[in-house]
């Protein structure tokens, strides 16, 4: 039998009961490790984190907690090779895709270590300036932000076992709020290993960081009014979490990041030969193939003026056809596998669902796998679909409503010179994490960005002057907000110090300035 | 038959079908007017507000919208006498209590008119400074706040038909978001009349402000992903709203203000004769009786050192016994009625529930009503309960969990010199809107305030130097946050310009500084 990974709760490593659930290599098919949370005393686990972990973290200043994040960064960097090994084995990712998760997670943690330093030797934050409540300036109102006295429960997605942990844990721990992480079972290994390395290094106080691998059953039942929960995953599970009595009756704060049908938009007026068109093609092909399209921020809809449809379709297809797919251990392979057999099947079903309203511009099935058995390996070639003509775009609904979580995108033409038509089509996504805009006219790009802002958590603008600098449509930078309204779940993560808001409670202290000056 | 009040939807006054629901005078018992929303085309109403109202509001700048709020203030001021007449008839309030609602609402609106001016000729807001995304400063991230392209639905409580409307509508309209207000049926008249006056004055564009009086059935079903809903009322209804598919599946943003068992805390160490004790007694008596205790911010628990229990009980009882209760039209009457027979019964039931764990220190039943028939008038005398000894405080759970929405408070002793005991008792409220703290030592007041901040939306500090300036424990100032975590619903309203956040969507625009400079 393979190793049964231990959970870390109540300041102790505890293995669950039973045989557990096996984790597999999605390329080679073999079992790697097993996880189980059966038999854990969840009530004790949450109470220990809330009371022991919370009190210890709150006793520290932001600067002290920031220093701990910095120490964790060093520990994680020293074990980086092990994380790459786990990632290739359990996630089927090529080296560049592993970097997005592993190095992306460590970079985000280090960013919060630096941001936290700037908050200094305080235990809570001032929010804005004091405001007079009367003509006499002696009585005023000062808003504070205080760390919530509860735990932060993270129920995470399979696609980012490292980054998904640290992008949430960094602002929580910096805020003084203990973390309980429940990674997606299928890739829980990397999360568990990273927590283990940090715990063993003895950086954080007992109860600050817990990991529970296996079923999520019963976790929500533990939540109390000052706890928070952050979920990344399907809209269906999100609805279950939002409907739980902890949320509906006890006002447990929720952050959701769910489905998102992100767009890339080529502005009207770009002539053949424009660098903006090349930049779009390059970015779309990259976004489709990074992590086999298993990024919640990946481009799903590509909007171009109708007269450029054929040109972009050909350029994209040419680029995609060069993507080698197969065993991520082979140097020449650019794209590994999706995460497991279930996702493999779901992607095929999603493709078939979209194909009923689209044409296939580049067929992923034509990619021969490199050093991988098609009967075993969960490898999916990149597929580009298209809705052909602009009026056809209006009739298609599936492309705007369906997130196929794999290397799949759809080319959607809009009426030439009609930016409003493009914006209307994008809005049919009902709120997304990110849209990218491509063009050469800075003013037109600014106007399009401001039109997209209310329905997207992030608008990524690519013009030729930043071609070499731009950080990528799908890369989530800790300096920028991550989240999106509507279908995308309505959550807000990252955005620099904005992320701390979720873990703090705002309060107005109305008092004599003699009192306020001693806060 | 009395008048059937019209609803204002789709830019037209429309009366509902059927006989409607009558509204009564809670002191004299007579029927006043009727309301009905039966037969309204709700889908059309929401669509008109969202599309026509929203587009027109968003086309204006913040300064232009602020000017409209200012114009609405003038209209409302010119009709103030009519609002006082409606309030005394329908809410049973004395003049001072009417002022809290009517003048409080107009003051809040005028505050946002002034705040809005400062936002100038913009149509969306910058959120913080741009942040570099790479060493080269050309590519940066700038956060924006854009008005959400949806409607704001307000489902409001009976106790503030004026203030409850304007404290929500002011920031929404200033943000460029159209408003649909559903007042509590029992006091809908004043809300409807104020909307009528503003609408008839032609200040706002068509669709900006709608009012639906009567049943709330079907309202939530109209909500779409970019809409928001703000609810004030019971925790039970709040849970129903939070569980609605609009919220759980479509990420409709929700703001809830629900039950709250607010506290007043006398710090340890105040000797008999201390002005702080007098200030506490005065404030508690006032809070218990203003609007017959029908304020979500009213003091419900009064925490004093055990050795001062008898003294405070006597001082409070003496003050309460002077409160004349009865017909609010009589000059000598200080406290009118609760809002209706149902609330009258609910208050009696709540009192009985608390009395099982408390002693009666001042019995409201001993107050003879002035010019009011006890068989008809919904008048309730102020009642002070007490848990007698500090260890008894620990055993009582009902006082920490039960909000009796009437002129009722409970004196809760804590162990002398043991501030932590008092804080623990207060925390058993599981999150409240407001706590007030009384003392003379500015440093001790500041420390107590910072300890209370994470579980209260507002901490009101009363020291002798601000005795004449302080704005009242229960008065909600637009400059300060209104809302509270946990049991209080987890919402955030007001707080100056912070209130605009609920009606805006945050987005990070990542672009060349050449693009960002043109935003």
CATH code, domain with A379: 3.40.309.10
Same domain, B275 and B288: yes
Is residue B482 in some structural domain? no
Catalytic residues of B: 257, 296
- The closest of A80, A91, A452 to B510, measured between CA atoms, is A452
User: Is B461 close to A133, i.e. CB distance below 8 A?
Assistant: no
Same domain, A246 and A319: no
Inter-residue contact A128 to A143 (CB < 8 Å): yes
Cross-chain CB nearest to A449 (options B430, B488, B511)? B511
* Token pair listed for B409: 């408070």
* Token pair listed for B120: 């100038």
β partners of residue A326 = A370
The total domain count for chain A is: 2
* Token pair listed for B322: 């002077």
Provide the pairing of β-strand B481-482 with B456-462: unpaired
Chain A residue numbers touching B141 (CB-CB < 8 A): 477, 479-480
Rounded CA gap, B248 and B361, in Å? 46
Same domain, B314 and B450: yes
Provide the pairing of β-strand A493-494 with A481-482: antiparallel
pLDDT of residue B107: 98
Q: What 3 state SS string does B251-273 have?
A: CCEEEEECCCCEEEEECCCCCCC
Listing DSSP states for B276-324 in one string gives HHHHHHHHHHHHHHGGGG--TTSEEEEEEEGGGHHHHHHHHHHHHHT--
Chain B residue numbers touching A449 (CB-CB < 8 A): 509, 511, 515, 519
Is residue A217 in some structural domain? yes
Residue of A257, A283, A287, A451 marked active site: A257
Is residue A119 in some structural domain? yes
Same domain, A267 and A254: no
Query: In Å, how far from its chain's centre is CA A133?
Result: 42
Same domain, A300 and A254: no
Is residue A425 in some structural domain? yes
Label residue A326 left, alpha or beta by phi (over 0 means left) and psi (-120 to 50 means alpha). left
Inter-residue contact A335 to A292 (CB < 8 Å): yes
Is residue A383 in some structural domain? yes
pLDDT of residue A334: 97
Helix (H) or strand (E) segment spanning residue A42: helix A42-48
β partners of residue A159 = none
Rounded CA gap, A448 and A459, in Å? 9
Same domain, A222 and A339: no
* Token pair listed for B233: 């009322």
User: Is A148 close to B225, i.e. CB distance below 8 A?
Assistant: no
* Token pair listed for A453: 């802002």
* Token pair listed for B466: 């601000």
Same domain, A155 and A189: yes
Helix (H) or strand (E) segment spanning residue B208: none
Mean pLDDT of residues grouped by 10 in chain A (519 residues)? 97 97 98 98 98 98 98 98 98 98 98 97 97 94 98 98 98 98 98 98 98 96 98 95 96 95 98 97 98 98 98 98 98 98 98 97 97 97 94 88 97 98 97 98 98 98 97 98 97 98 98 97
Cross-chain CB nearest to A149 (options B450, B454, B509)? B454
Chain A residue numbers touching B461 (CB-CB < 8 A): 509-512, 515
Neighbouring residues of B459: CB distance < 8 A, sequence distance ≥ 6: A507, A508, A509, A510, A511, B434, B435, B436, B437, B449, B452, B453
User: Is B481 close to A507, i.e. CB distance below 8 A?
Assistant: yes
Is residue A486 in some structural domain? no
A296 catalytic? Reply is yes
- Residue with tokens 């104020």, as numbered in its chain: B194
Rounded CA gap, B488 and B116, in Å? 28
User: Is A489 close to B251, i.e. CB distance below 8 A?
Assistant: yes
Rounded to the nearest 10 degrees, what angle do helices B62-78 and B80-91 cross at? Answer: 70
Inter-residue contact A233 to A184 (CB < 8 Å): yes
pLDDT digits (tens, 9 = 90+) for B293-331: 999 999 999 999 999 999 999 999 999 999 999 999 999
Same domain, B295 and B251: no
pLDDT at B156 over 90: yes
Q: What is the ipTM of this complex?
A: 0.97
Same domain, B112 and B208: yes
A153 SS3 class: strand
β partners of residue A29 = none
Rounded CA gap, B219 and B180, in Å? 10
Rounded CA gap, A347 and A382, in Å? 11
User: Is B225 close to A486, i.e. CB distance below 8 A?
Assistant: yes
β partners of residue B511 = B140
Same domain, A34 and A173: yes
Cα separations in angstroms, A183 against A75, A152, A229, B32, B247: 20, 14, 13, 60, 25
pLDDT of residue B247: 97
In chain B, the residue whose alpha carbon lies closest to the alpha carbon of A483 is: B507
Rounded CA gap, A499 and A199, in Å? 24
Largest CA distance in chain B: 79
* Token pair listed for A419: 């930016």
Same domain, B318 and B215: no
* Token pair listed for A236: 């269906």
Cross-chain CB nearest to A510 (options B124, B454, B461)? B461
Alpha carbon of B234: minimum distance to chain A alpha carbons (Å): 11
Residue B221 carries which DSSP code?
G
Average pLDDT over residues B180-194: 98
User: Is B481 close to A146, i.e. CB distance below 8 A?
Assistant: no
Rounded CA gap, A516 and A268, in Å? 55
pTM attached to this predicted model:
0.97
In chain A, the residue whose alpha carbon lies closest to the alpha carbon of B134 is: A469
Cα separations in angstroms, B85 against B89, B96, B189, B277, B454: 6, 13, 11, 37, 41
B230 SS3 class: strand
Largest CA distance in chain A: 79
Inter-residue contact A119 to A137 (CB < 8 Å): no
Residue-number span of the structural domain to which A334 is assigned: 262-477
Neighbouring residues of A255: CB distance < 8 A, sequence distance ≥ 6: A228, A229, A230, A231, A483, A489, A491, A492, A493, A502
Which backbone phi and psi does B116 adopt, to 5 degrees? -65, -35
Rounded to the nearest 10 degrees, what angle do helices A442-452 and A419-427 cross at? Answer: 30
- Residue with tokens 């009384």, as numbered in its chain: B438
pLDDT of residue A390: 84
In chain B, the residue whose alpha carbon lies closest to the alpha carbon of A437 is: B511
Inter-residue contact B153 to B223 (CB < 8 Å): yes
Chain B residue numbers touching A138 (CB-CB < 8 A): 465-466, 469
In chain B, the residue whose alpha carbon lies closest to the alpha carbon of A455 is: B505
A–B interface: beta-carbon pairs under 8 A:
282
Cross-chain CB nearest to B446 (options A461, A481, A515)? A515
Rounded CA gap, B209 and A423, in Å? 27
Inter-residue contact A513 to A285 (CB < 8 Å): no
B444 SS3 class: helix
Residue B407 carries which DSSP code?
S
User: How many degrees, rounded to 5, is the angle at CA B338 between CA B337 and CA B339?
Assistant: 115
- Residue with tokens 């207000």, as numbered in its chain: B181
Inter-residue contact A254 to A232 (CB < 8 Å): no
Is residue A483 in some structural domain? no
Same domain, A320 and A237: no
Chain A residue numbers touching B447 (CB-CB < 8 A): 518
Which backbone phi and psi does A316 adopt, to 5 degrees? -65, -45
Label residue B486 left, alpha or beta by phi (over 0 means left) and psi (-120 to 50 means alpha). left
Listing DSSP states for A261-327 in one string gives -EEEEEPTTPPTT-HHHHHHHHHHHHHHHGGGG--TTSEEEEEEEGGGHHHHHHHHHHHHHT--EE-
Supply the CATH number for residue B173's domain: 3.40.605.10
Is residue B441 in some structural domain? yes
User: Is A459 close to B243, i.e. CB distance below 8 A?
Assistant: no
């Amino acid at each position: 039998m393979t190793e049964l990974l231990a959970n870390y709760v109540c300041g102790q490593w505890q293995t669950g009961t039973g045989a557990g659930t096996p984790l597999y290599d999605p390329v080679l098919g073999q079992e790697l490790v097993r996880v189980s949370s059966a038999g854990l005393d969840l009530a004790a686990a949450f109470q220990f984190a809330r009371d022991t972990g919370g009190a210890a973290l709150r006793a520290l200043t932001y600067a002290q907690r920031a220093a701990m994040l910095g120490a964790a960064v060093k520990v994680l960097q020293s074990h980086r090779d092990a994380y790459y090994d786990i990632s290739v084995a359990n996630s089927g990712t090529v080296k560049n895709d592993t970097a997005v998760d592993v190095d992306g997670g460590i970079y985000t943690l280090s960013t919060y270590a630096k941001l936290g330093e700037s908050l200094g030797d305080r235990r809570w934050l001032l929010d804005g300036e004091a405001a007079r409540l009367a003509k006499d300036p002696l009585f005023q109102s000062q808003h504070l932000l205080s760390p919530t006295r509860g735990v932060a429960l993270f129920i995470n997605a399979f696609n980012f076992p490292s980054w998904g942990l640290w992008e949430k844990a960094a602002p929580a721990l910096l805020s003084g709020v203990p973390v309980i992480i429940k990674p997606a079972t299928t890739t829980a290994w990397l999360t568990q290993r990273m927590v283990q390395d940090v715990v063993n290094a003895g950086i954080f106080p007992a109860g600050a960081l817990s990991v529970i691998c296996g079923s999520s059953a019963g976790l929500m039942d533990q939540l109390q009014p000052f706890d928070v929960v952050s979920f990344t995953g399907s809209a269906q599970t999100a609805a279950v979490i939002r409907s739980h009595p902890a949320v509906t009756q006890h006002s447990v704060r929720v952050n959701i990041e769910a489905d998102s049908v992100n767009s890339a938009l080529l502005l009207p007026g770009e002539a053949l030969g424009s660098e903006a068109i090349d930049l779009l093609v390059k970015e779309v092909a990259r976004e489709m193939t990074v992590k086999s399209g298993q990024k919640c921020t990946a481009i799903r809809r590509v909007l171009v003026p109708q007269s450029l449809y054929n040109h972009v379709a050909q350029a994209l297809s040419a680029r995609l056809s060069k993507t080698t797919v197969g065993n991520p251990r082979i140097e020449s392979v650019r794209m590994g596998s999706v995460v497991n057999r279930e996702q493999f099947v779901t992607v095929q079903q999603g493709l078939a669902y979209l194909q009923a309203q689209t044409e296939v511009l580049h067929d992923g099935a034509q990619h021969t796998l490199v050093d991988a058995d098609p009967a075993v390996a969960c490898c999916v070639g990149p597929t580009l679909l298209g809705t052909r003509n602009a009026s056809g775009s209006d009739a298609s609904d599936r492309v705007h409503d369906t997130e196929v979580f794999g290397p799949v995108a759809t080319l959607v033409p809009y009426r030439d010179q009609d930016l409003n038509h493009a914006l209307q089509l994008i809005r049919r996504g009902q709120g997304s994490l990110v849209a990218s805009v491509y063009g050469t006219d800075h003013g037109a790009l600014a106007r399009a960005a401001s039109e997209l802002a209310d329905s997207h958590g992030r608008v990524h603008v690519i013009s030729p002057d930043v071609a070499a600098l731009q950080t990528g449509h799908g890369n989530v930078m800790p300096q920028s907000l991550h989240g999106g309204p509507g279908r995308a779940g309505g959550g807000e993560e990252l955005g620099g110090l904005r992320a701390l808001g979720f873990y703090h409670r705002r309060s107005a202290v109305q008092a004599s300035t003699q009192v306020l000056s001693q806060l």
